[in-house]
Every structure is written in structure tokens, then in C-alpha cells.
Chain A
Amino acid sequence: MKPVRVRGEGRFALFLLLPAATVVFGVVLYPVLRTLLMSFYKVDSAMPGSYPFAGLSNYAKVFSDPSFYPVLGHTAYFTVVSTAAELVLGMGVALLLNAPLRFKWLWRSLVVLPWALPTIVNGALWRWIDNGQYGVLNQLLGTEIQWLGSPFLALNMVIVADVWKNTSIVAFFLLAGLQTIPNELREAAVVDGASTWRTFWQVVVPLLKPSIAVVLVLRTIEAFKVFDIVYVMTGGGPASGTQTVAFYTYLQAFSNQLFGYGAALAYLIVIAVGALAMFYLRVLRQNQMAGV
């Protein structure tokens, strides 16, 4: 439904949007431009002052920085594995929540819980669960593994913690999509003799594609920006094995005071996230056109 153009709508829209625009752009516009500018200068302290122009050398440095590639690798691994796991598990949970079961509110409330737990509390909790000496995970398994003691294992344990929390929101996204699929469609497929498995792949998944696409893009963006759970669970260690791009940027800017370099790294994240966001908007537009 398209609103009809009426004289004076533009002014009313301005009146309605001005508070929001002030609150958002008043805060954000200056830092956005300032960071961009900073990424072209050799800024190596927090003090105001004039710093030498560096052109694109901060950006070039990213790609010749030997510690950047492993960091990019961790981020890619984290993003792909956590998003994939959250999608598969979230789909299972969403189907379960959509099924005609008793105590529906109870199962939904259960799924809400991890999502509501603050990320930092979640990270601190899993750090404690995974503790090699006193952790409950070793007690339950009867093992003596330093879960957060070796780089690759630690990265996977961070993923476990992230998946435990964020599968919830993926499940709710998919549930919102599932509820728009009329039950008759599935019942018709079953009447036609299709197995549950085939109904799922040939009826549910195609209709759910828009929701899946949206959730994939949103989770990928979030995963790509991941910072806080790494900060609290491992601090980027051991042996820098769990450093992600956002965490590495934080270290360069705030531990090494390389603000120019940090700004260039930050803008590379912006470009990557921007590309994903464009993709998201395109998916949304297709959904709108398909009338989903």
C-alpha cells in the first residue's frame, strides 16, 4: 500500500524525523568523518596535533601486516562456523516451537533465556565452565583438558558460547517466517504422500528462503564485528589465537596507540559490513516484490 502524496507531507515528515536525526546524526556524523580522515594520516597518539599525511599507506599496511592474515582467518572461521551452526540448530528449534505441542509458552520461554543473558555474562560463564582446573565441563566429561589453553580449541570454545546464546534469536527469526506459511500447504504435501523430510526440503525451505537469507546476513554482520565475547572469554589469546578483526583493531588503537592504522582497519570492517548490508537490503527488496 503506497501512501498518497498530500501537500505539506514533506514538512510534517521533517517535523517527525528531526528529533531522531538530531539524536543519531548529531552524535555519529563527526566520528564517521573523523575516523575516515584519520585513516589517511599517520596518527600515533591520542593527543590533538598535526600528524603527517600518509595517503593510503595505512590501508596498504593492513595487507602487508603479517599478523593481520591469521586474524582475518579467525574472523572468517568464527563467522562461517557460528553462523552455520546457529542456522542449523535454530531451524531445528524453530520447527519444534512451531509444532502443535503442549506447554508451548514453556518451550518458548526456555529459548528466550540465552538470548536475554547479557553477552559479557555469557562469556564470563563459559570461561568458568571451560576452566581447565576447576571447570564443570572437565568434571562432567571426566577429562583434564585446558579448553581455553590452546589457540584453535579456544576459538572453537568461543564459538560454542556464541552459538549457545545466539541460536535463540535465529530460531525466533525463523519462527516468525514459519508462521507466515499456511498450514494447508504442508498438509497438502503430506496428503500427497510426501515424507516429513521431503515436505521440509520441498515446501518449507523454499518458502522460508527470505527469512533464511535475512537471518544469514544479519548474523554474518554481527559475527564479523564480534568483540565482547572474545574480550571476556580469552582476551584474544592464547597466542593471539582468538583475535578477531574487531579485537585486533581495538588492540592496535588502544594498546599500541596506532590510531591511524586502527582507523584504516575499522574502515575495512565498515566496507565489509557495508557490502553485507547492501546484500541484506537487496534481499529485503526482493521479499517485498515477491509479496512475502
Chain B
Amino acid sequence: MRKFQYAMCGLLAIVVLAPFSWLVISSLSPADELNNGSLLPTHPTFSRYQDIFTSGTDGIAGTFRVSMLNSLVVASATTLISLVVGCLGGYAFARLRFRFRRTTLFAFLAIYMLPPIALVIPLYLALANLHLLDTQLGLIVTYCSIVTPFCLWTMSNFYLSLPPELEDAARVDGCSRLGALVRIVLPLARPGIVATAMFGFLLAWDEFLYSLIFTSTTNSKTIPVAIAEFTGKFSSDFGLVAAGGVLAALPPVLLALLFQRYIVNGLTGAVKG
């Protein structure tokens, strides 16, 4: 049994790592070796990474760099805003009783499950009226509407897993409700906040449809859109797309590896309700 399990782990490693390695290898293979059927490049090159970091924004490589920065700004700002409003609102769902509590919670969840394709046309027109098309701000505002319901939900579940006695004690000691939340509950909820922030960042980093429709230039184009654009082009060098892909994968992969132990805890809430 044990042997079988370790064999399965080995198989798992191959299945997971093979496509990843192929992405990295392709990004390092010179163009001629990319297309002549060699598995490992005899003359690996870092030139594409160099291009991405140094060349002007009129070419593909430069576009990748600027799009990465756009994605970083948009995903970070989205995560920060959604996390703050999610930490506050989630507490209301977990600990307070008020009218329409269930209905409000369901409304937020319903928004999270809506397909973006159902909102994208009027949102496009609204952003155009506000002169927010092709801006980072336009994307941040839009992304917050997807990431916030998610943060509310996971934070609310996390608060529910904390013992309420501590807040009660703080209140007896003369702490206000808000004071108890900020000074007692939030520090205790740190693992939940970390998990929620990571999930939120990944959600924003991965978003594609809104960015595809709302962005048109390097002003605000995010990295998934830049990669999709050049993947579709007939003549493009996949090695360059692969190098862009490796860089685009770095932030979410590093975050996920770093906070790996929080993932299962973060999901327990979604299963338990």
C-alpha cells in the first residue's frame, strides 16, 4: 500500500511538472531549436527575458513588461480594497443579527456567481461615459465587484470558526464593538485574512474577459490579455510567449507555495457553509 502510494506521488510529480518544465524549456530554447524537435536546447538563451525587461513598449516583449506591472497594480489594489471591505462586512454576517441578513448574503453570493459576459456590455458603455475605459482604475473598480463577495464569504466563515467569548470579554471590559473587532478579532483572524488575500489576488490576477474588452493599450492591458493576444498571432515566437507565461505565473505560484498551508483551511468554510 505504502509503496503504491509513493509510486502514485511520483506519477503525480511527473504529470504536474512535465508541462511546467516544457514552459520553462520553451522560454529558454532559441527559435531554431524550438521548431526542430529537440527536447532539451543545446544552446539555452535568456535573451527573451532580457528583451522583456529592457525593450521598448512598442514591441511584444516590452508589452509583456508593462502588462505585468499593470496586472500587479490592478490585482494588488483590488485585493487590498476587497480585503478591507470584506473583513468589515464579513464580521456583520458572522456575528450580528439584523433584518435581511440571509437575503443580503445571498445577493452577494449571487453576484459572485454571475457570468461576467452578462455584465460586460453595459459596464463597457458605463466606463466609456466615465472615461474609465483602458485605465487601471476602471479595471480595479470592476474587479472589486467580483473579489469583494468572495472575501465577504470566506472571512465570514473564518470569523464563525473563532470563539465569540473573547469579544464578549473585551466588550465587558468597556471596548466598543468596533474596538473589539479591530483589536481582538482581526489579530486572531490573521490566518483567514492571509488565505483570503491570496485567493483574492489569484482571482484578480487570472481575470480575463473584462480586461479583454475594457483595455486596448499598454495603459492598462493586463498580462493574461497580452499573452492571449500574442498566442493567437500566427507568426509569433512561442518562446517569447513562454517567457511571458513564466513571468506571469511567478507571482501567483510563489504566493500559493508560500501560503500553501492556509489553502485547505480557507476551503473548509466553503464546504461547511
Contacts and interface: CB of A to CB of B under 8 A. Distances in A.
B252 interface: yes
A17 interface: yes
A259 B117 CA distance: 11
B245 A125 contact: yes
Q: How large is the interface on B (under 10, 10 to 19, 20 to 34, 35 or more residues)?
A: 35 or more
B114 interface: yes
A266 B224 contact: no
B253 interface: yes
Contacts, number: 287
B73 interface: no
A31 interface: yes
B206 interface: yes
Interface string A6-28: 10011011101101110111111
B186 interface: no
A38 B119 CA distance: 11
Nearest to A287: B273
Contact of A118 (B34, B224, B255): B224
Interface string B71-83: 0000000000110
Interface residues of A, number: 104
Interface string A126-137: 111100011010
Interface of A: 1-6, 9-10, 12-14, 16-17, 19-21, 23-28, 30-32, 34-35, 38, 46, 48, 92-93, 96, 99, 101, 105, 107-121, 123-129, 133-134, 136, 139, 164, 172-173, 175-177, 179-180, 196, 210-211, 214-215, 218, 221, 225, 227-228, 231-232, 235, 246, 249-250, 253-254, 259, 262-263, 266-267, 269-270, 273-274, 277, 281, 284-285, 287-288, 292
26 contacts: A13-B96, A16-B88, A20-B88, A23-B82, A27-B144, A31-B122, A99-B5, A108-B261, A113-B253, A114-B19, A116-B256, A118-B252, A119-B224, A120-B208, A121-B248, A128-B242, A134-B238, A176-B265, A179-B268, A214-B271, A227-B208, A250-B209, A253-B117, A266-B117, A287-B272, A292-B272
